[in-house]
Structure 1
Amino acid sequence: MNTFASFHEAFHYLVELVFKEGSKVPGPQSRTSIGSDFGESRKATYEVISPTVKILDPRNRLLPGGCRRTNLGFAFANYLWALTPGAEASQVISYNERGRDFTDEKGSLVCGLSKRLIGDGSQSPLKDLIDLMKRDINTRRAYIGFVYPSDLRDEPRDFSCFGSMQFLHRHGRLDCIASMRSQSILGVMPYDIALLTMVQETVANELDLDLGSYYHHCGSLHYYSSEESQIRSILNCEGVIEAMSPMPAQTPLSEDSVLIAAEKTLRESGHIDADRLEPYWLNIFKSMKSSLKSDKGLEW
């Protein structure tokens, strides 16, 4: 097993792997795939099939700024969106306008992670998973799949890159195994890791377990030929970044819904409800505000 202390170390390993060993493969043709610029081009792609890494400290989930510039505000907003019941596409698009490219004619994200992870409030796969683990902490059934049979027929523009998540309790710790159908190493991997490891930590908190290891598997790990110069620069990056502090007991799944309400307030008014946020979340909301734009395209 390729094991690393941090995501930064794992990321550097995977970048080197796909750069040195990646095979040149033809890109997809579908008019609903970002891999073809939605039918506009055939991107030259370099790919490694089925790599897996293990990250010992999932809190060490970010990259040094000099290695790969990441919009942290969007990364954190994406996590909150994924755990907001009944969330609309407009919520996450407020932090990253590119999300609009993946919506359907009604402006919806058909396969949005929010729908398939937290649900609409009446039904919630993630909450059902947590309840299952509370009944049987050693279950091997704590598993959520994100690709539905109808997706293969309908080919939505936001066909999920996330394949599945599984949670396992081992020796008082919660391990997480995430499988990606398709993983753009440069474009979205830093955001996916931040999201998935924060979901892992959220579930660990709900179960009163210590945070275990995180396993990340990719069906297709790839980069596009147009990204080669960026890939080369990452190979020479030696920056250091500290792990995030432990997530407090207050999470987006808390019954008081403080974080969900605070995100809505921030998005609609540009105001951070600091009095109701613990320091951990206050710092996250400050990052989110820096990425937020109003519905008129203006920064708050």
Structure 2
Amino acid sequence: MPFAVAEWLWCMKGANDLEMISYYAPSYRKYSDNGITLHGAYGPRIQKYLPKIINLLQKDEHSRRAVIPIYTIHDVAIESKDIPCTSSIQFLIRNGRLNLIVHMRSNDIYLGLPYDVFNFTMLQEYVARKLNVQIGTYTHIVNSLHYYKKNEETIKRIAYSAPAKAKEMPLMPKDDLDNRLQELIKYEEELRINGNKIKVPNEGYFGNLAFILYKYSKDREMSTHDSSSSILHSSFK
């Protein structure tokens, strides 16, 4: 869950830096071409057009042109370790509800799908709040849905385990949405840089998201401390 929240914030701030996302998923470092950024990051690709999409749907709620291309002509046959898996996303208002259709060229059912669905449905809800419409359907279309052999046993274990009890997220607040989102983005940055000494906001929806990040930071710091202590003790044996 911490990675899901962090990835959404990373996307909403339009970032492609490795520093933030690798704090939650160190494995991302191996996908960077320059050790600084990720070529296929969705944030810059989405945020470049998102204000225009919102404006378009505010002017014409029946528009069929609210499409954001993520995989572009510049990604075709280039040499990079990180090519976007998502081809495009399209927003459609139907019967007063905002639907979102996501097309993906490729999707790992274990490592990618759960986080992509979280990220895009959070984006869908954000846009719905900006447009003052209800949330509609979410459609996720994948051309190549796959998994890697090394994850097969874990996937089987999940598939055959009892379903987890669903817990519905509260609705994203409409009031002062952008300021609250920016406050959460700022909190994440301070938490990552200064550690879990930063006070957790105790304000409803965004406070809950902040606590998820806080808990991860605290657990991460304790894990690092335990590892350091273990190395220190072993050196005296």
Aligned partners of 1:160, 1:228: CA distance in 2, in Å? Answer: 24
Larger helix percent: 2
Mapped pair 1:76 → 2:1: no
Aligned partners of 1:253, 1:87: CA distance in 2, in Å? Answer: 20
Kindly provide the CA deviation profile for residues 263-300 of structure 1, in whole angstroms up to 9, marking residues without a partner as x: 2222222354545x6311111111122334889x947x
Q: Which residue of 1 aligns with 2:154?
A: 230
* Deviation at residue 117 of structure 1 after TM alignment: 1.1
Q: Which residue of 2 aligns with 1:151?
A: 75
Aligned partners of 1:216, 1:142: CA distance in 2, in Å? Answer: 16
Whether contact under 8 Å (2:89, 2:101) holds in the other structure is: yes
Whether contact under 8 Å (1:83, 1:252) holds in the other structure is: no
Q: Which residue of 2 aligns with 1:268?
A: 193
Inter-CA distance 89–287: structure 2 relative to 1 (3 Å threshold): same
Inter-CA distance 265–216: structure 2 relative to 1 (3 Å threshold): same
In structure 1, stretches of 5+ residues that fail to align are 1-71, 119-123
Mapped pair 1:95 → 2:36: no
Mapped pair 1:195 → 2:119: yes
Bigger mean CA deviation after superposition, 165-174 or 104-113: 104-113
* Deviation at residue 156 of structure 1 after TM alignment: 1.6
Inter-CA distance 175–222: structure 2 relative to 1 (3 Å threshold): same
Aligned partners of 1:251, 1:126: CA distance in 2, in Å? Answer: 18
Give 2:119's aligned amino acid.
Answer: L
Aligned partners of 1:285, 1:246: CA distance in 2, in Å? Answer: 16
Aligned partners of 1:272, 1:219: CA distance in 2, in Å? Answer: 43
Over aligned residues, Cα RMSD in angstroms?
Answer: 2.4
Aligned partners of 2:175, 2:39: CA distance in 1, in Å? Answer: 29
Aligned partners of 2:129, 2:181: CA distance in 1, in Å? Answer: 15
| SS of match in other structure, 1:233 | helix
Q: Which residue of 1 aligns with 2:93?
A: 169
Whether contact under 8 Å (1:73, 1:95) holds in the other structure is: yes
Whether contact under 8 Å (1:173, 1:210) holds in the other structure is: yes
Whether contact under 8 Å (1:116, 1:146) holds in the other structure is: yes
Percent of aligned pairs sharing the same letter: 32
Aligned partners of 2:213, 2:176: CA distance in 1, in Å? Answer: 16
Kindly provide the CA deviation profile for residues 209-249 of structure 1, in whole angstroms up to 9, marking residues without a partner as x: 11111001001011223332223222222222211111112
Inter-CA distance 156–95: structure 2 relative to 1 (3 Å threshold): same
Whether contact under 8 Å (1:178, 1:216) holds in the other structure is: yes
Inter-CA distance 255–232: structure 2 relative to 1 (3 Å threshold): closer
Larger strand percent: 1
Q: Which residue of 1 aligns with 2:64?
A: 140
Inter-CA distance 205–112: structure 2 relative to 1 (3 Å threshold): same
Give 1:225's aligned amino acid.
Answer: K
In structure 2, stretches of 5+ residues that fail to align are 226-237
Give 1:190's aligned amino acid.
Answer: P
Give 2:105's aligned amino acid.
Answer: R
Q: Which residue of 2 aligns with 1:288?
A: 213
Aligned partners of 2:43, 2:182: CA distance in 1, in Å? Answer: 16
Whether contact under 8 Å (1:252, 1:259) holds in the other structure is: no
